[in-house]
Protein backbone atom coordinates (compact mmCIF):
# COMPACT_ATOMS: atom_id res chain seq x y z
CA UNK A 1 0.00 0.00 0.00
CA UNK A 2 2.82 2.42 0.89
CA UNK A 3 4.61 1.74 -2.39
CA UNK A 4 1.41 2.34 -4.32
CA UNK A 5 0.87 5.66 -2.54
CA UNK A 6 4.44 6.72 -3.27
CA UNK A 7 4.03 5.80 -6.93
CA UNK A 8 0.79 7.82 -7.17
CA UNK A 9 2.49 10.84 -5.55
CA UNK A 10 5.54 10.47 -7.81
CA UNK A 11 3.37 10.23 -10.94
CA UNK A 12 1.41 13.31 -9.90
CA UNK A 13 4.57 15.29 -9.16
CA UNK A 14 6.10 14.36 -12.50
CA UNK A 15 2.91 15.35 -14.30
CA UNK A 16 2.69 18.67 -12.47
CA UNK A 17 6.44 19.33 -12.95
CA UNK A 18 6.11 18.89 -16.69
CA UNK A 19 3.11 21.24 -16.77
CA UNK A 20 4.65 24.02 -14.64
CA UNK A 21 5.44 27.19 -16.57
CA UNK A 22 8.74 28.50 -15.24
CA UNK A 23 9.60 32.16 -16.09
CA UNK A 24 11.83 32.52 -19.13
CA UNK A 25 15.48 32.07 -18.30
CA UNK A 26 14.98 30.42 -14.91
CA UNK A 27 15.76 26.91 -16.08
CA UNK A 28 18.73 28.15 -18.11
CA UNK A 29 20.02 30.16 -15.15
CA UNK A 30 19.71 27.16 -12.84
CA UNK A 31 21.53 24.96 -15.31
CA UNK A 32 24.30 27.56 -15.77
CA UNK A 33 24.88 27.76 -12.03
CA UNK A 34 24.99 24.01 -11.65
CA UNK A 35 27.23 23.53 -14.70
CA UNK A 36 29.77 26.11 -13.51
CA UNK A 37 29.92 24.34 -10.18
CA UNK A 38 30.59 21.02 -11.88
CA UNK A 39 33.57 22.46 -13.76
CA UNK A 40 35.32 23.65 -10.60
CA UNK A 41 36.09 20.24 -9.14
CA UNK A 42 35.52 16.53 -9.42
CA UNK A 43 33.77 16.60 -6.06
CA UNK A 44 31.15 18.94 -7.41
CA UNK A 45 30.40 16.59 -10.28
CA UNK A 46 29.83 13.78 -7.81
CA UNK A 47 27.38 15.82 -5.79
CA UNK A 48 25.59 17.16 -8.85
CA UNK A 49 22.62 14.78 -8.39
CA UNK A 50 22.14 16.13 -4.86
CA UNK A 51 22.31 19.74 -6.07
CA UNK A 52 19.68 18.96 -8.68
CA UNK A 53 17.50 17.27 -6.07
CA UNK A 54 17.74 20.27 -3.75
CA UNK A 55 16.89 22.60 -6.63
CA UNK A 56 13.89 20.46 -7.41
CA UNK A 57 12.70 20.49 -3.79
CA UNK A 58 13.05 24.23 -3.25
CA UNK A 59 11.85 25.44 -6.65
CA UNK A 60 9.57 22.90 -8.26
CA UNK A 61 7.85 20.98 -5.46
CA UNK A 62 6.32 24.04 -3.73
CA UNK A 63 4.93 25.15 -7.09
CA UNK A 64 3.72 21.67 -7.94
CA UNK A 65 2.09 20.95 -4.58
CA UNK A 66 0.17 24.20 -4.76
CA UNK A 67 -1.78 22.88 -7.73
CA UNK A 68 -2.11 19.21 -6.77
CA UNK A 69 -5.77 18.15 -6.67
CA UNK A 70 -7.13 17.31 -3.23
CA UNK A 71 -9.87 14.98 -4.38
CA UNK A 72 -9.38 12.46 -1.59
CA UNK A 73 -11.61 14.46 0.77
CA UNK A 74 -14.82 16.31 -0.10
CA UNK A 75 -14.89 20.06 0.43
CA UNK A 76 -16.80 21.34 3.50
CA UNK A 77 -19.73 22.45 1.35
CA UNK A 78 -19.90 18.97 -0.16
CA UNK A 79 -20.27 17.47 3.30
CA UNK A 80 -23.22 19.70 4.12
CA UNK A 81 -24.91 19.15 0.76
CA UNK A 82 -24.45 15.40 0.94
CA UNK A 83 -25.81 15.31 4.49
CA UNK A 84 -28.96 17.03 3.25
CA UNK A 85 -29.46 14.58 0.39
CA UNK A 86 -28.74 11.58 2.59
CA UNK A 87 -31.24 12.73 5.23
CA UNK A 88 -34.07 12.97 2.71
CA UNK A 89 -33.29 9.57 1.17
CA UNK A 90 -33.00 7.86 4.56
CA UNK A 91 -36.28 9.36 5.74
CA UNK A 92 -38.18 8.53 2.57
CA UNK A 93 -36.77 5.09 1.80
CA UNK A 94 -37.02 3.70 5.30
CA UNK A 95 -40.52 2.54 6.14
CA UNK A 96 -42.67 4.88 8.24
CA UNK A 97 -43.60 4.26 11.85
CA UNK A 98 -46.97 3.35 13.36
CA UNK A 99 -48.00 7.00 13.54
CA UNK A 100 -48.04 7.23 9.74
CA UNK A 101 -50.23 4.12 9.51
CA UNK A 102 -52.69 5.62 12.00
CA UNK A 103 -52.83 8.83 9.96
CA UNK A 104 -53.42 6.94 6.72
CA UNK A 105 -56.16 4.81 8.30
CA UNK A 106 -57.92 7.87 9.68
CA UNK A 107 -61.08 8.64 7.73
CA UNK A 108 -61.09 12.31 8.76
CA UNK A 109 -60.08 14.76 6.06
CA UNK A 110 -59.27 18.45 6.06
CA UNK A 111 -60.98 21.16 4.02
CA UNK A 112 -59.05 20.55 0.80
CA UNK A 113 -59.50 16.80 0.94
CA UNK A 114 -56.07 16.16 2.43
CA UNK A 115 -55.60 13.44 5.00
CA UNK A 116 -55.69 14.99 8.43
CA UNK A 117 -52.26 15.15 10.07
CA UNK A 118 -50.33 13.94 7.01
CA UNK A 119 -48.82 17.28 6.05
CA UNK A 120 -47.55 17.87 9.58
CA UNK A 121 -46.04 14.39 9.60
CA UNK A 122 -44.23 14.98 6.29
CA UNK A 123 -43.11 18.44 7.35
CA UNK A 124 -41.36 16.93 10.37
CA UNK A 125 -39.51 14.52 8.10
CA UNK A 126 -38.55 16.71 5.15
CA UNK A 127 -39.32 20.42 5.38
CA UNK A 128 -36.02 21.52 6.99
CA UNK A 129 -34.05 20.13 4.04
CA UNK A 130 -35.85 22.16 1.37
CA UNK A 131 -35.26 25.72 0.24
CA UNK A 132 -38.91 26.76 0.22
CA UNK A 133 -42.47 25.59 0.81
CA UNK A 134 -42.84 25.28 -2.95
CA UNK A 135 -39.81 22.97 -3.20
CA UNK A 136 -41.10 20.91 -0.27
CA UNK A 137 -44.63 20.67 -1.71
CA UNK A 138 -43.29 19.56 -5.08
CA UNK A 139 -41.23 16.85 -3.43
CA UNK A 140 -43.96 15.33 -1.22
CA UNK A 141 -46.48 15.45 -4.07
CA UNK A 142 -44.23 13.10 -6.06
CA UNK A 143 -42.49 11.16 -3.31
CA UNK A 144 -43.02 11.38 0.45
CA UNK A 145 -45.96 9.15 1.41
CA UNK A 146 -46.44 8.17 -2.25
CA UNK A 147 -43.27 6.06 -2.02
CA UNK A 148 -44.63 4.05 0.90
CA UNK A 149 -48.04 3.13 -0.46
CA UNK A 150 -47.01 0.14 -2.63
CA UNK A 151 -44.55 -1.37 -0.12
CA UNK A 152 -47.19 -1.13 2.63
CA UNK A 153 -49.81 -2.65 0.36
CA UNK A 154 -47.56 -5.63 -0.32
CA UNK A 155 -46.43 -5.80 3.34
CA UNK A 156 -42.81 -4.86 2.75
CA UNK A 157 -40.55 -2.86 5.02
CA UNK A 158 -37.89 -0.63 3.45
CA UNK A 159 -34.47 0.39 4.69
CA UNK A 160 -32.12 2.78 2.86
CA UNK A 161 -28.50 1.60 2.59
CA UNK A 162 -25.24 2.67 0.97
CA UNK A 163 -26.11 6.16 -0.27
CA UNK A 164 -23.61 7.62 -2.74
CA UNK A 165 -23.53 11.22 -3.97
CA UNK A 166 -21.36 12.80 -6.65
CA UNK A 167 -21.26 16.46 -7.59
CA UNK A 168 -21.70 17.20 -11.28
CA UNK A 169 -19.61 19.61 -13.36
CA UNK A 170 -22.53 22.01 -13.64
CA UNK A 171 -22.15 25.66 -12.68
CA UNK A 172 -25.10 25.05 -10.35
CA UNK A 173 -24.97 22.94 -7.19
CA UNK A 174 -26.21 19.65 -8.61
CA UNK A 175 -25.52 16.15 -7.33
CA UNK A 176 -26.24 12.74 -8.81
CA UNK A 177 -26.98 10.07 -6.26
CA UNK A 178 -27.79 6.40 -5.89
CA UNK A 179 -28.78 4.22 -2.97
CA UNK A 180 -29.37 0.59 -2.16
CA UNK A 181 -32.76 -0.04 -0.59
CA UNK A 182 -33.40 -3.24 1.32
CA UNK A 183 -36.97 -4.55 1.24
CA UNK A 184 -38.20 -7.39 3.41
CA UNK A 185 -41.65 -8.90 3.55
CA UNK A 186 -43.29 -9.06 6.96
CA UNK A 187 -42.80 -12.49 8.48
CA UNK A 188 -39.95 -13.38 6.10
CA UNK A 189 -36.43 -14.11 7.34
CA UNK A 190 -34.78 -12.99 4.10
CA UNK A 191 -34.50 -9.62 2.40
CA UNK A 192 -33.71 -8.38 -1.10
CA UNK A 193 -32.05 -5.19 -2.28
CA UNK A 194 -33.07 -2.77 -5.01
CA UNK A 195 -31.52 0.43 -6.31
CA UNK A 196 -32.76 3.98 -6.67
CA UNK A 197 -31.05 6.83 -8.52
CA UNK A 198 -31.68 10.53 -8.85
CA UNK A 199 -30.47 14.09 -8.88
CA UNK A 200 -30.73 17.01 -6.47
CA UNK A 201 -30.23 20.73 -7.06
CA UNK A 202 -29.27 22.69 -3.92
CA UNK A 203 -28.71 26.33 -3.02
CA UNK A 204 -25.82 27.99 -1.17
CA UNK A 205 -27.51 27.26 2.18
CA UNK A 206 -27.36 23.51 1.46
CA UNK A 207 -31.12 23.32 0.96
CA UNK A 208 -32.78 21.38 -1.85
CA UNK A 209 -34.51 23.35 -4.59
CA UNK A 210 -35.39 20.41 -6.83
CA UNK A 211 -35.00 16.67 -6.25
CA UNK A 212 -35.93 13.89 -8.63
CA UNK A 213 -35.79 10.18 -7.83
CA UNK A 214 -36.16 7.14 -10.07
CA UNK A 215 -37.53 4.43 -7.78
CA UNK A 216 -39.90 2.64 -10.15
CA UNK A 217 -37.62 -0.37 -10.67
CA UNK A 218 -37.63 -0.88 -6.90
CA UNK A 219 -41.44 -0.77 -6.76
CA UNK A 220 -41.68 -3.20 -9.67
CA UNK A 221 -39.42 -5.66 -7.85
CA UNK A 222 -41.43 -5.78 -4.65
CA UNK A 223 -44.78 -5.75 -6.51
CA UNK A 224 -44.08 -9.07 -8.24
Of the candidates 69, 51, 70, the residue with the CA atom closest to the CA atom of residue 59 = 51
The verdict on domain 76-223 having CATH code 3.10.450 is: yes
At residue 214, does pLDDT exceed 80?
Answer: yes
- Encode 39-64: b = buried (16+ Cβ within 10 Å), e = exposed: eeeeeeeeeeeeeeeeeeeeeeeeeb
pTM of full prediction above 0.75: no
- Does residue 213 have a pLDDT over 50? yes
Instruction: Give the lowest-confidence range in 74-88, 123-137, 157-171, 172-186.
Output: 74-88
Q: Given pLDDT bands bounded at 50, 70 and 90, which one contains residue 11?
A: low
- Per residue in 42-68, pLDDT tens? 444 444 444 444 344 444 434 443 333
Q: Is the pLDDT of residue 15 over 70?
A: no
Residue ranges per domain, the chain?
2-65, 76-223
Amino acid sequence: MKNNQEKVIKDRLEKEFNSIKVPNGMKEELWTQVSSTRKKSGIASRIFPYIAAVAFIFIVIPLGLSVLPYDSEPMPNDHENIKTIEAVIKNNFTSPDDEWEKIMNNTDTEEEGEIKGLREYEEDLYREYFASDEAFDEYVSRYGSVVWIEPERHHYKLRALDIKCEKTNSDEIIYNFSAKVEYQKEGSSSAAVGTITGQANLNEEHKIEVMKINYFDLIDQLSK
